[in-house]
């Protein structure tokens, strides 16, 4: 499937998740055979030295025959991450104004 073909296709259903510099697009599209498939696109904004900006996009296509396995593997992988590292976003610790939750709860 060429990129032009996809760009001209109407989205059947779309959800957008904005997450800081990243935006995730979940789009349902239609195949030539009139079946549906899912595209997941990550779009990340980059700022150039002159103040202008550009976006880099990464896209995956997921077809119905793979939905169940994809969903199972995604959930299993996310559960592994939460079990091993918890839900805290570790990179937040490196922010200048970071205050650990344990300190927040003690001061209340």
Q: Is the pLDDT of residue 1 over 80?
A: no
Return the pLDDT at 39: 97
Q: Quick one: CATH architecture of 3-107?
A: Roll (3.10)
pLDDT band at 94 (very low <50, low <70, confident <90, very high): low
Closest C-alpha to 18, from 43, 1, 37: 43
Return the pLDDT at 88: 85
Instruction: Summarize pLDDT for 36-89 with one digit per residue, the tens.
Output: 999 999 999 998 999 999 999 999 999 999 999 999 999 999 999 999 989 888
**Distance from first CA to last CA of the chain, Å, rounded?**
57
List 7's β-bridge partners, or say none.
none
In this structure, is the dihedral angle defined by the CA atoms of residues 25, 31, 32 and 35, taken in order, positive or negative? negative
Give the residue extent of every domain in the chain: 3-107
Contact partners, residue 70, CB within 8 Å, separation at least 6: 62
Contact partners, residue 88, CB within 8 Å, separation at least 6: 101
pTM, entire model:
0.69
**Average pLDDT score over residue span 91-107:** 58
List 62's β-bridge partners, or say none.
38
Q: Is the pLDDT of residue 108 over 60?
A: no
Q: At 104, list the tokens.
A: 């927040």
């Amino acid at each position: 499937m060429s990129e032009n073909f996809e760009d001209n296709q109407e989205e059947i259903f779309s959800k957008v998740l904005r997450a800081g510099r990243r935006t995730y697009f979940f789009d349902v599209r239609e195949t030539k055979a009139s079946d549906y498939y899912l595209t997941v696109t990550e779009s990340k904004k980059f700022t150039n030295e002159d103040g202008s900006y550009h976006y880099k996009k990464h896209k995956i296509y997921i077809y119905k025959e793979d939905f169940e396995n994809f969903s199972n593997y995604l959930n299993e992988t996310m559960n592994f991450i939460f079990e091993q590292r918890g839900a805290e976003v570790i990179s937040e610790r490196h922010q200048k104004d970071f205050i650990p939750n344990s300190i927040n709860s003690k001061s209340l």
